[in-house]
Structure 1
Amino acid sequence: MKTILVAVDPQHDADRVLARAAQLSEQHKAAVVVMHVLDDMGVMEPEMRAAAGRHARATLETLIDAPRFARAPTLRVEFGIPHRCVTKAAHELSADIVVIGPGQPSTLLQRVFGSTADRIVRMASVPVLVVRGEHARRYGTVAAAMDFSPLSEAALEAVRGLAPDARITLVHAYEAPLPFEQAMLRAGTLPDDAEHFRRSRMNDCRRQLLDLARPHGREENVLVLQGAPGAALVELSQGGRVDLVAMGTQGRNATAEVLLGSVARRLLSEAGCDVLVVGPARV
């Protein structure tokens, strides 16, 4: 890891986000760019725009005095639509990762289609680390959520690079499809037989996880949870057993996420630890 882009909102969790960025910078000896985007809606007078830019830069300079970085961060203040500016900057800088806070939806539009953090996660061409945890110590225990797709494997690869010393557990949440469960009931399947089927499928998932873990020559556990992936992963993240959850997401289509629900969005809003998300542009 060579370059970390940190996007901060001074009003929401900036200290926590910068502390995590400082820890990663020290661990990986990486350069850090700290960015803040001001949305002037295109109506701000030039003098006001310049003053707002100076004030934002001074605020960033004050914020970075607290955490310790491997080297002095570069500061970047821009005007525009926040998620577009951040994802564009990540591309221009060839950043290895974007570090952000979870944010808070502040309008009805954001509550429906997602906050700035949601949109950065969906659009970024690099992994996005969403800082939710209270502490910025090195990651010691990591859960990599696996659905056996190329995106989840990309997330596993990303977290191995991000936290090379951490103990990683490959996690899969299995829930039998409702139509299949209903079909078994209509066919008169006995409860013991249905449970045997579930256990058999969970054992198959465990074997697939082991196949993913073995080739990398490091100690990695596997865990198969029963239940809906969103609920199971949130419960795991809140149990104090992991410092970080890594996952892939298909989230290019905001409307589809609203209608179908999103495991990633649920983790972003409810997780009890940090979340690393890898999107479609990574595969």
Structure 2
Amino acid sequence: MKQFKILVAIDFSKDSFIVLQRAMEFARKINGIVDVVHIVENSFFSPKKDINYIKEHILERLQLAFNDFDEKHFHCIKGNTKKEIAKVANILKSKLIIIGKSGETYRFSEVYMGSHTKHIVRSADVPVLVLKKESEISTKTILLPTDLSSKSAAAILEIAKLFPSAYLTLVHFFTIPFEARLNSYGFSDEDTIEYMTVMKDKSEKNLEQFVQTIDIPQGFRVSSKVRKSSLNPKLFDKEVEDIPHDILALHTTGRVSFYAFDILESSIENVLILKI
């Protein structure tokens, strides 16, 4: 059985070393391999220092921080960060890319992600785990919003393949059309509650039927829930706070995709992006 290959992109900032430390800890737990990539931007130019010279010196720094790091797993490439990381992942046949949420200046406490993170997520052909927290990486519980599409079904199977021992919770959102107008339209409080109950019951039935259509691998644990939602990305964490999850998984296709990147931006959770 092939080992689980993880590619970690670092910029040699203090926080990117935290990301690498967490990735190495995670790899040890799953008997995986960590490759490290650093991109020397094309915009950096020095007539005295070529790429091999730069690689030699930053490798020294890397091995100083991680004594047991094997040189064969370090890749220093000149190019465009937004494109090269995805290329390296394909060449190495990595199963997962792990990155921090921004560039050289990011802090774990910041809300906004850097442009490099977004471009890496968009260009990668393999799942990307964006770390938002300093704590150890855990994949015990994963939350996946689903739009009941074939893309969502494929995302479920991809998660089952990546993390077969995880407990996956599907959450399907329903909305109340013109909710703010119901009182103006003559709905009593009782009418509104009844209407919401009907919408919730319909969503639960649709979700149950959807799950039954998926050939979920034997032993992979899946549960499902429905939630009334405003579809406001900034309120997402609040709307699912009662559902235990170590990782929030999002797929970037289907109806979920239109606000997946907004959730990635605003969520405080570690986010797994799946391009299905």
What band does the TM-score fall into relative to the shorter chain? 0.7 to 0.9
Task: Give the counterpart letter for 1:56 in structure 2.
Answer: I
Amino acid aligned to 1:271: S
Match of 2:154, SS state, is helix
Residues in 2 aligned to 1:78 and 1:196: alpha-carbon distance in whole angstroms: 60
Matches within 5 A, 1:137-148: 137-148=137-148
| Of 1, 13, 17, the match for 2:15 | 13
Alignment match, 2:91: 92
Shift of residue 231, structure 1, vs aligned partner? 3.7
CA distance in 2, matches of 1:199, 1:73: 58
Q: Is the 8 A contact 1:133 1:274 kept in 2?
A: yes
Q: Quote the offset at 1:48 in angstroms.
A: 5.3
User: 1:107-118 residue pairs with structure 2 within 5 A?
Assistant: 115-118=115-118
- With over 3 angstroms needed to count, the CA separation of the structure-2 counterparts of 1:239 and 1:35, relative to structure 1, is farther
Partner of 2:36: 34
Question: What corresponds to 1:204 in structure 2?
Answer: 202
2:206 alignment partner, SS class: helix
Checking the alignment, whether the CA contact within 8 Å between 1:4 and 1:95 is kept in structure 2 is: yes
> What is aligned with 1:220?
222
The CA deviation at 1:34 is 0.8
Q: Which whole-Å CA distance do the structure 1 matches of 2:147 and 2:235 have between them?
A: 13
In 2, are the aligned partners of 1:155 and 1:277 still within 8 Å (CA)?
no
| C-alpha deviation, 1:40, in angstroms | 4.0
- CA displacement 1:26-64 (0-9 Å, x = unmatched): 344333211111214163325254443333222332343
Partner secondary structure for residue 47 of structure 1? coil
TM-score, structure 1 length as denominator? 0.76
Matching residue of 1:164: 164
Structure with the higher fraction of residues in helix conformation: 1
User: Secondary structure in 2 aligned to 1:129?
Assistant: strand
**Preserved contact between residue 237 and residue 271 of structure 1 (Cα < 8 Å):** no
- What amino acid sits opposite 1:166 in the alignment? A
- Alpha carbons of structure 1 residues 233 and 182: separation in structure 2 relative to 1, 3 Å: closer
Q: Please say if residues 59 and 71 of structure 2, whose CA atoms lie closer than 8 Å, have aligned partners that are also in contact.
A: no
Please name the residue that 1:76 is paired with: 75
Instruction: Quickly say closer, same or farther: Cα 1:184–1:228, change in 2 above 3 A.
Output: closer
Any stretches of 5+ residues in structure 2 without a counterpart? 106-110
**Are positions 1:273 and 2:252 aligned together?**
no
1:13 counterpart SS class: helix
- Alpha-carbon offset, residue 137 of structure 1: 5.0
TM-score by length of structure 2 reads 0.78
Deviation at 1:175, TM superposition (A): 2.3
- Inter-partner Cα distance in structure 1 for 2:173 and 2:147: 8
Aligned to 1:257: none
Q: Are the structure 2 counterparts of residues 39 and 168 from structure 1 closer, same or farther at C-alpha, using a change threshold of 3 Å?
A: same
| In structure 2, C-alpha distance between the alignment counterparts of 1:273 and 1:219, rounded to whole Å | 21
1:89 Cα offset (Å): 1.1
Deviations 1:73-132 (A, max 9, x none): 7000112211201011122222211111111597xxxx9996111111112111111112
In structure 2, what is the Cα distance between the partners aligned to 1:100 and 1:47?
A: 27
Contact 1:127–1:158 at 8 Å: present in 2 too?
Answer: no
Q: Distance in 1 between matches of 2:39 and 2:67?
A: 20
Q: Does residue 184 of structure 2 align to residue 154 of structure 1?
A: no
Q: How does 1:245-256 map to 2 (within 5 A)?
A: 245-250=248-253
SS in 2 for 1:267: helix
Is the Cα contact below 8 Å between 1:237 and 1:272 reproduced in 2?
no
1:62 is matched with: 64
CA separation in 2, counterparts of 1:250 and 1:77?
Answer: 32
- C-alpha change, 1:222 and 1:105, in structure 2 (3 Å) is farther
Alpha carbons of structure 1 residues 193 and 262: separation in structure 2 relative to 1, 3 Å: same
Instruction: Give CA deviations for 1:138-184 in whole Å, capped at 9, x if unaligned.
Output: 3222211112233333332232233322222111222234xx55786
Task: Name the CA distance, whole Å, in 2 between partners of 1:38 and 1:139.
Answer: 32
Quote the residue 2:246 is aligned against.
243
Alpha-carbon separation, structure 2, partners of 1:194 and 1:241: 29
Deviation at 1:65, TM superposition (A): 3.4
Aligned residues: CA RMSD: 3.5
